Amino acid sequence: MTLRIVCGIDFSDTSRAALDEAAKLARLLDAELHVVHAYGLPMGALPIDGGFVTGPETAAELASRAEEQIQSWQQAYPDVQLVRHVVVGMPADEILRVAEEIDAAYLVVGTHGRTGLAHLMLGSVAENVMRHAKVPVLVARRR
């Protein structure tokens, strides 16, 4: 049975630190590393009938850019078996969904370490993942 690790990334320096830690763990445990990037579709507003979701071309472009970015980061880990998941949705929900779907043994996420109002306004993907994960979670901070 293959051991699987899930790492959530958003292409920030913090998520790069999380990916570095996840790769170390994958090497140590000879595990498969699943990288999850979840994104929301941008919304626009029309004054007449409210909001609308952007077209499929925009979604495809966002997914393509995310795939390219993951591929460029992946080059730093040639000795790690890396599986990419680029999905539309809320990051914490999608990280947890993929983890459950593939029966992950561990999760790795980054944290910006926000507190106070910034934390309250932005929420915390890391905190949500930790609260709802059914497996151990490693939380990495930017160096």
pLDDT in tens, 9-39: 999 999 999 999 999 999 999 999 999 999 8
In three state form, how does the secondary structure of 53-116 look? ECCHHHHHHHHHHHHHHHHHHHCCCCCCCEEEEEEECCHHHHHHHHHHHHCCCEEEEEECCCCH
Low-confidence winner among 42-51, 68-77, 110-119, 129-138 (lowest mean pLDDT): 42-51
User: Token digits for 83?
Assistant: 């599986």
User: Token digits for 115?
Assistant: 């507190």
The pLDDT value given to residue 49: 52
Against a cut of 0.75, is the pTM above it?
yes
List C-alpha distances in Å: 109 to 21, 36, 53, 69, 112: 9, 10, 28, 17, 10
List C-alpha distances in Å: 101 to 76, 85, 86, 122: 26, 12, 14, 27
Banded pLDDT at 43 (limits 50, 70, 90): low
Q: What domains can you pick out in the chain, each with its CATH number?
A: 4-141 (3.40.50.620)
